[in-house]
Structure 1
Amino acid sequence: MTEIDKRKLVADTNALDDFNRGVVEEFRANGGKVGGPFEGGTLLLLHTTGAKSGTPRLSPLAYLTFEGRMFIVGSYAGAPKHPAWVHNLRADPRAHIEVGTEAYDVSVRELPDAERDAMYPKITEIAPVFADYQANTTRSIPLFELTRA
């Protein structure tokens, strides 16, 4: 996998869908491991329900674990808008995830502003790219905690 053009993926939903489809296939074929720019990272597959459509949605995402808690970051590579999965989770805070070879239901909690503001620097210590993404947008990038249901 070559270096990814994040701006193109954010701007072109078809390109993003194709890219994500490849990541999902690689994830499932390799027991949750993905190479290229994601090699060594922690990825999960997030299954949500479309907020408007009601149809199943699948998003491969990086996740971080801090003090035994699992978090996902609505960064969308620092784009000015939230990724679609953020809207889906706000409409229905239940999801299903695949992590490695395990799959289970989770309840999802968006961190309120004060808690988000306290946690975001801890997240960026683990994954500095999220500091870059926040610097590239005026929106507050949301954090979500996933808890096994």
Structure 2
Amino acid sequence: MLFGKEHVDRYLATDGEEGHDWQGTMCLLLTTTGAKSGEPRIAPLIYEPYGDAYLVVASKGGAPKPPAWYVNLRENPGVEVQIKGEKFRATARDATPEEKPDMWKVMTKAWPDYDSYQAKTDRQIPVVVLERA
């Protein structure tokens, strides 16, 4: 099973032929700019298309603090997305309170564990909307 850096490396080397399909879901690569370092940071994330946008969830398995990639995009919402061999610039934003219930349903259908992650933490886990720039 691919995870972390190995997942990113295989995805990049094969244009997603290895790494896009993961444990019954789909993964994209999200490149953010490090909030402190200014360096590019790549994270493999479960995603779902949503209209013209793509959704990802900043769950970190229900940890009390959000994942580093989420902290980075809060500082700089300009990101790069790779889905299989396609790379594009996007702007990341949190789902609005009105959007989130439907978007959460879409994401928990793809990865039901998101509900248990939310139950483990007091932090409201964000659904992040990636819109092409």
TM-score above 0.5, yes or no: yes
TM bracket, shorter-chain basis: 0.7 to 0.9
| Distance of 1:28 and 1:44 partners within structure 2 | 11
More RCO (CA 8 Å, sep 6+): 2
Deviation at 1:111, TM superposition (A): 1.6
For 1:15, the equivalent position in structure 2 comes to none
| Distance of 2:110 and 2:5 partners within structure 1 | 27
Q: What CA deviation, in whole Å up to 9, does each residue of 1:36-67 have, x standing for no partner?
A: x9244211111111112211111111111234
For 1:12, the equivalent position in structure 2 comes to none
Q: Calculate the TM-score normalised by the size of structure 1.
A: 0.77
For 2:97, the equivalent position in structure 1 comes to 113
| Distance of 1:26 and 1:40 partners within structure 2 | 17
The sequence identity of aligned pairs, in percent, is 39
In structure 2, stretches of 5+ residues that fail to align are none
* Larger-Rg structure: 1
Q: Calculate the TM-score normalised by the size of structure 2.
A: 0.85
For 1:127, the equivalent position in structure 2 comes to 111
1:146 is the counterpart of 2:130: yes
Aligned positions of 1:2-21 closer than 5 A: 19-21=3-5
Return the match for 1:52 from 23, 31, 36: 36
| Distance of 1:66 and 1:97 partners within structure 2 | 15
Deviation at 1:123, TM superposition (A): 2.5
1:84 is the counterpart of 2:84: no
Deviation at 1:113, TM superposition (A): 3.4
| Distance of 1:148 and 1:68 partners within structure 2 | 8
Return the match for 2:87 from 79, 93, 103: 103
In structure 1, stretches of 5+ residues that fail to align are 3-18
Give the root-mean-square deviation of aligned CA atoms.
Answer: 2.1
* Alignment length (residue pairs): 132
Bigger helix share: 1
| Distance of 1:56 and 1:114 partners within structure 2 | 32
Bigger strand share: 2
| Distance of 1:148 and 1:92 partners within structure 2 | 15
